[in-house]
Amino acid sequence: MDSKVPKGPLAAKWTQHKNDINLVNPANKRNIDIIVVGTGLAGGSAAATLAELGYNVKTFCYQDSPRRAHSIAAQGGINAAKNYQGDGDSAYRLFYDTIKGGDYRSREANVYRLAEESTNIIDQCVAQGVPFAREYGGLLDNRSFGGVLVSRTFYAKGQTGQQLLLGAYSAMNRQINRGKIQSFNRHEMMDMVLVDGKARGIIARDLVTGKIERHSAHAVVLATGGYGNVFFLSTNAMGSNVMAAWRAHRRGAFFANPCFTQIHPTCIPVSGDHQSKLTLMSESLRNDGRIWVPKRMDDAIAIREGKLKPIQLKEEDRDYYLERRYPAFGNLVPRDVASRAAKERCDAGFGVNKTGEAVYLDFAAAIQRYGTEEALTQGIKNADDKEITRLGKAVIEAKYGNLFQMYEKIVDENPYETPMMIYPAVHYTMGGLWVDYNLQTTIEGCYCAGEANFSDHGANRLGASALMQGLADGYFVLPYTIGDYLSKDIRTGAIPTDSPEFDDAEKSVQDRLDKLMAGSGQNSVDFYHKKLGKIMWDKCGMARNAKDLQDAIDEISALRTDFWANVKIPGKAEGMNQELEKAGRVADFLELGELFAKDALTRNESCGGHFREEYQTPEGEALRDDENFKFVSAWEYKGEPKDAVLHKEELKYENIELKTRSYK
């Protein structure tokens, strides 16, 4: 496993690397084809940039339009070290916060490059017309996110992902109109084709007609997002899946750190068994919302039983537990810390909804604070409480209005008047395909960008870093590094699709579809997905232990066997069949879930989002083992998850001191 990290000082590695790698001249780019699977922020920005450079690009997405990628759901913002606030930010500070936030389990060089390129992302997006919020003087506004002590998060209300995706999509559309991008919507990658050990194309299924298609290229880029839906209930779109990455894994791409999954602390709580997904409330709300539960058990019980309203509870009877436990960062601790703290309070019996699995996110203090400031700004002296509340609500609405509206539509409570109820839920996956410094997987010619790779976030992602990584990879990293590889293909010519390798890959896809359709029809696809999700949440969720993880491995293996024998898929494989689509994805989740549990079982430490109950400090914090587990777990496919072979990339920290992570 060669990470290909350049030699030299950390701050000079990326610049020197760009000077050293080979380039492809414009005339030769016209003769080279690239496939990009996934058209969210990472894939869309990569496709647009590669086409702009002159390559011939084919894009594939299972949605009816790239605008429906799950990137659109990102709410709170995107990080960049531009230091507009003058509060001490820098590329190094962003690098340090990201490494520390990931609990020292990410690759130094990749993270520093991410911090370097962050400033270019903002300029690129402003040039595209992304309507970032601005402060009074006209500069772009910033807000804080968890795990940092500066304001570096650029935002567009609570719709940042949507606005950034529209920017990338407009850049893609320009290239589609020029004929440099061929867009294949409603197509799903079913397999990767290797010729002489190199990724030379994919087998795709037209989800409207059911037709199996062959597409060749000189390189393949996977940018298909994360695998949070292995838990069934998550904040991910229902269609989000692991298929493209997992099929590449089956062809030889190592899968890294599958157990590193992020539980987001501010989601709307589960309301019943009928739900198919959960809804995120942006972390940006923790800038102004204070998180609390009742101090006394009898008050918590009264609230759960509907006998007491939260606004009736006096200030001295509330436990602002994050402010109490982590005074330096307060409500803006990293997501893994905030999630475990919420679970601890609810497990202790202080939860506030009917199920006992919710805490409050309260904006009353912020409304008063902003109202007072606004009254003074407008020259209103001696404003009464009613006027201050009115003005404060207007400020909150300007910052978070669409989020408050979404909450009210789902919960049927007005969050301006009564505190929001929130609880942790599966959100982001830090694990993914292993990539080197150039974003190339262990398959030559197969690249991976954005959430689909493992590279930048370690064991926990800081808020507002997902959009940053996706756009950095797509706009500013991959277009350089892929050229170094493609410089060897300028005389290769078009890759034929009538080769034995394409024949074999297509047959493998067809055989798999036939096997899925041959199930006895005892249970639906969702039956198996929900069962898998319950195993994953109960035994591989916010807290894990050796016994539960071993049980999960055994139970998932048995569930997978039952799935292949007894799944029910109505209709035919020839034509549109959404149950068949789901079945293929759940089949992959049933393999990934077992590898996830196996990875968690082998990592005998707690770090970031991976919390092993056997390894914690007396205060209940994660207890790392840097001596034995300072490595990336990269798994090689061997037919069954139980047979997967572990490879280790040792992590070197030459520019940062490893410390016990503290936010107190």
| Catalytic residue positions, numbered | 335
**Do the beta carbons of residue 175 and residue 58 sit within 8 Å?**
no
Terminal CA-CA length for the chain: 37
* Token couple for 461: 């992602």
CA distance 131 to 156: 6
**Do the beta carbons of residue 331 and residue 286 sit within 8 Å?**
yes
* Token couple for 299: 């008050």
CA distance 464 to 551: 35
Within 13 Å and on the Cβ side, how many CA atoms surround 481? 30
CA distance 522 to 199: 38
Q: How far is CA 280 from the centre of its chain?
A: 12
Angle between helix 364-377 and 385-411 (nearest 10): 140
Instruction: To the nearest 10°, report the CA torsion of 511, 514, 519, 523.
Output: 110
**Do the beta carbons of residue 632 and residue 256 sit within 8 Å?**
yes
CA distance 603 to 459: 12
**Do the beta carbons of residue 77 and residue 160 sit within 8 Å?**
yes
DSSP state of 440: B
> Rounded to the nearest 5 degrees, what angle is found at the Cα of 44, between the Cα atoms of 17 and 112?
35
* Token couple for 77: 């913002």
**Do the beta carbons of residue 443 and residue 594 sit within 8 Å?**
no
Residues ≥6 apart with Cβ < 8 Å to 5: 13, 107, 109, 436, 437
Phi, psi (deg, nearest 5) at residue 421? -105, 130
Helices (DSSP H) in 2-107: which residue ranges?
13-20, 26-29, 41-53, 91-101
Q: How far is CA 109 from the centre of its chain?
A: 20
Q: What is the DSSP string of 574-628?
A: SS--HHHHHHHHHHHHHHHHHHHHHHHHH--S-BTTB-BTTSB-TTS-B---HHH
Phi, psi (deg, nearest 5) at residue 24? -115, 125
Residues ≥6 apart with Cβ < 8 Å to 128: 167, 168, 170, 171
The neighbour count for residue 119, using CB atoms within 10 Å, is: 15
Q: What is the 3-state secondary structure (H, E, C) of 287-347?
A: HCCEEEEECCHHHHHHHHCCCCCHHHCCHHHEECHHHHHCCCCHHHCCHHHHHHHHHHHHH
What three-state secondary structure class fits 382? coil
Q: Which amino acid is at 516?
A: L
Residues ≥6 apart with Cβ < 8 Å to 141: 132, 133, 134, 135, 154, 155
Within 13 Å and on the Cβ side, how many CA atoms surround 349? 7
Of 337, 405, 393, 339, the closest CA to residue 367 belongs to: 393
